[in-house]
Structure 1
Amino acid sequence: MELACPNCGTRFRVADDAVGSGGRQVRCGACGHSWRAFPEEAAAAPSEPTAQPPAASDTADTVEPEAIAAAVAEKTAAAPAPPLETGQGADSLPQDLAAPVRRRPQPLPPPETGPRWGLLIGWLLFFAVVAGLLGGGWYFRDQVVAQVPETTRLYDLLGIPVDQAGPAFVLDWRRAIRTEETGPTVTLSGQVINATDAPLPAPQLAVVLLNAQGNQIDSWAVEVDGGPIAPGEARDFATKGPWPEAASDVSVRLLQ
């Protein structure tokens, strides 16, 4: 069967069952015009004009039927029918193509955020460190006060009891510098007092000589005789040693 484009007149040769009984949307391959074709249209399409038999008076120019058929066949072969162009369905090709509508781009939705595990873990670590510092400050408060006496006031403000154990011995001493035949000497004398409520072994003392910059230049040990010292008892001690020219000060300390 043949279809003729109503816009440009181009003919198409299609299979007999290509249109179907209900019609089909087709498009002209030459001009792009689309229309819905029906079987009746194919039946009603005008056929190629056929040569009219010449009049009786023109017997000299008579054309044979075989020549007419050959001419029609040659024209058909010279202009093959373009293929039928359709959409995916019978009504898939729109009749009117509307102008494109400009739409404002919609903002993208914010990204979904899950639980903030990093922030939560950071806070947990912070509280763990604070709890560790507070616990250590409570449990080792006596050692902290012994090393840093200034923290005693802080513990008092917080109402935390601290065992402030005083020194076991108190030293009361004096010095005397003399010049002898062997040179300048320093004499140290004084008392060692037991400041506890129990008898303690007699301690050992150390004499340290210092220069003007506070650096140690000499030292020696001093034994306190007499055995254990009773509570509150004051035990005398005395020692003597050389006094170098570089010496500027002297100190007596407990070794035990």
Structure 2
Amino acid sequence: MIIACPACSTRYVVPDSAIGVDGRTVRCAKCRHSWFQNGPELPERDALEAVAEVPAAAPEAEAPASSPTPEPVQAEPTIPPPLPEAARRAPPQVYSDDDHSPFDHQPPFRPRRNPAKLWTIAAVAFALTVAALAGVVWQFGMPKWLPGAVQTFGADRPDLVLSFPPEKQDRRQLPNGTEYFGASGTVTNNGRDVRAIPEILIVLRDAGDKVVKTWEVPPPQEELAPGESVTINAAVTDVPKSAKVAEIGWKPD
């Protein structure tokens, strides 16, 4: 007969006589689990003949306490006979919520990203960056080191020297409350040729180096002979109160 361990499901082939009709306790040689194994089922006719031949059993005498208990038979594992196809199929494995089955569906590709959402985020970030840069330029003006930035003053003129010393620059408030700024300087031709005098540009900046006012000063004459010098006086009254520094140079072409 074929018996199976209830604990580890190991199957054994044992002779019917080792178990007997009434069954007995056996132990699994693999996991050491013990259980009561019922005896083999007899055919119906043999069972009736056995009942007719066996006389009524007398009451069993109580076994003395010192009588040894027979050691349960250990069924040794043997190669079981071929089983039906249905019996050879392994039962389905049950997975809990935390387990991962190797047969789970795996997507062939990663989830697609939403291009519209990415473009929207990029557009918002770009708009915020442009707004911040515009605020910086409005507050502090265009950096002079930035390539392509508009130059405040024009290039130096050959042989022409422009001089407006700080001690000849006057910044004060008039009795009527108007802010006044005046400056006096000279333009000298140190060359050997006659030079045309361009217009002069005066720039006022605040403490943050932002341009708050500019105005152009035309020269009193158009040309200077070699070694000749001319004095230039300039003044303006609508000066912003935030103006702190004056810069004087040639007007850009």
Q: Provide TM-score, normalisation by structure 2.
A: 0.34
From the CA coordinates, give the structure whose radius of gyration is larger: 1
